[in-house]
Structure 1
């Protein structure tokens, strides 16, 4: 973690009194954001942020969670607050991601929203308020998935499966296409119609063949790279389903109530994660720790260590699990990318 700055003791009080007004931040609406920012824009920045995180060059506080209980005037819903600063960058970011407001559906609204607040790292002034409604979160999550494919799979692994076929799955598919073009996709979800729609959309957009399958077992038998991005607390596959040399990239767990992968898989794989201190509390590792099947010492590496070359990624036919809970480093990176692009409009 970066050292905290301190006010010089000899600084006269009159120097602290402002003589100029800070300009108001720019506001970018959802339509502007979604039409100008793409997953491919984010991969290199997020990759660099993971590397900086592993070197201790990112200040990332632990995420804050605000639960909105269901009453006559509110909820139910959740708000996740993350942020960070990558040393040397010109901005830092704080993000509010609001999810699980399922009553919105009855009003024709999405089940949540969100904003990024991008700050000037030189003078502390707000530069932008970006209404992204979780779009940038999905983009930076997808970028992390693409980076995982780049470092944790063989270049010849071109069969890719998606368990869960919502917005994050689409972002993962787009990022995979950026680092592994021409892959063959498979999809499985509890809603078969939604899974088929995902395949049709991704096939048209990415130019890759996609097939909807009838079970997680069928998907794992077809794909060497398996993405899981589901919102529930039930595991979505079994260790016995996986082929030798498979890579599982899990991004559904971001709260202590969630779990996508069985403990016996976690305890018998090369386990990589985005941030040990975070996955131990809200990621897949949490369940393995609670069961006594793993300790934090059993974590093979953080993704940034692999990016930096401190630890090798894919070495042979081992099973690799990459646990992505989403870090403030990624938010800082995509915030910088978004500001650089949107501020020029």
Structure 2
């Protein structure tokens, strides 16, 4: 019978996991073609607005395969419910038997996305960060800021949100640990920050190329469907290095998809995160370069975090 792990035990188990290291290992496996990751399954809803992603796959010669169902319903806050929901299912790669059900309510997706953002910044953030810019005020915005602190510590933060109420709430929650400035526009964030993370479900570009400072790194995590866009395509055209978490996925979703569709960049400009991690020649070489990492979310991240949580949980039961 499959082991059922609830959210409380998931949160407890994950404290013992080096999630950023797990994401690094996963992206390397992926880019080295040691995984099987089919195209994303997707359901889009209009009223209320929301999307569901089904991501699944396995690492070759491993013990498990993983299916992740994760949703984002963006009016949930009005109901007092988190926008992220979902679960992860672990099966034996040898027999197909169900091994575990992780009732994470979308938490593991949030955590692995923030860890991937921290990993991107490890390789591409400038050595001297003027300030961290955060576009968005939800749980992902908070997690991205917190996860950055281990390897790219900076306490000066500029934040922009779609409503002043949510932005002020973000500031109130995080002010004990950060010096937070509320920006009136996304452009104001860009003009004061050299490490920017975008975390909204916007379908209209929020950042323009003219506002991006020399040396800025941008991690874009909000645009994970073909309809979403946070960066004007000319931002990617202006960038010296553009990185995809998955080149195949970038052909039908995310910032790279929109920029290629708009004709502002070509596929030849794109490098994949797992390759970049392994090759210093593909990484930032000076603090004047502008870099963009487009994180659309890859199933290998879910495989790595689900395995880590399951193994940690089972070890505590021995």
Same fold by TM-score greater than 0.5 = yes
Cα 1:183/1:53, change in 2 over 3 Å? farther
Q: Is 1:256 the counterpart of 2:247 in the alignment?
A: no
1:137 aligned to 78, 95, 109, which one? 109
Structure 2 distance, partners of 1:184, 1:110, is: 27
User: What are the residue-to-residue correspondences of 1:25-64 with 2, within 5 Å?
Assistant: 25-38=2-15, 41-64=18-41
Number of residue-to-residue matches in the alignment: 314
Task: Structure 1: give runs of 5+ residues left out of the alignment.
Answer: 1-23
The residue number in structure 2 matching 1:110 is 82
Contact map agreement 2:84 2:107 (CA 8 A) in 1:
no
Residue 90 of structure 1: aligned partner: 63
Asked if structure 2 preserves the Cα contact closer than 8 Å seen for 1:39 and 1:174, the reply is: no
Aligned to 2:252, the other structure's residue is in SS state helix
SS of the residue aligned with 2:282?
Answer: coil
Q: Corresponding residue for 1:6?
A: none
Kept after mapping to 1: 8 A contact 2:125/2:152: no
CA drift of 1:219 comes to 1.4
Structure 1, residues 199-240: CA drift from partner, whole Å, max 9, x if none?
Answer: 332343xx3433322222221122110000111211111111
Hey, what's the Cα distance between the residues in 2 that align with 1:57 and 1:216?
A: 39
- Computing the radius of gyration from Cα coordinates, the structure with the larger value is 1
Q: Is the 8 A contact 2:17 2:309 kept in 1?
A: no
CA-to-aligned-CA distance 1:127-154 (integer Å, 9 cap, x gap): 2111112110011100110011100123
1:152 maps to which of 101, 124, 129: 124
Shift of 1:107: 5.0
Structure 2 unaligned regions, length at least 5: none
**Cα gap change, 1:106/1:247 in structure 2, threshold over 3 Å: closer, same or farther?**
closer
Match of 1:336 in 2: 307
Q: Which residue does the alignment assign to 1:306?
A: 276
TM-score by length of 1: 0.84
Residue 285 (str. 1) matches residue 256 (str. 2): yes
Q: Is the 8 A contact 2:100 2:310 kept in 1?
A: yes
Would the aligned equivalents of 2:87 and 2:103 in 1 still touch at CA under 8 Å? yes
Tell me if 1:297 matches 2:268.
Answer: yes
Cα-to-partner distance string for 1:296-318 (whole Å, 9 max, x where unaligned): 1121x111111112643111211
CA contact under 8 A between 2:131 and 2:154: conserved in structure 1? no
SS of the residue corresponding to residue 223 of structure 2 reads coil
Change (3 A) 1:76 1:216: closer
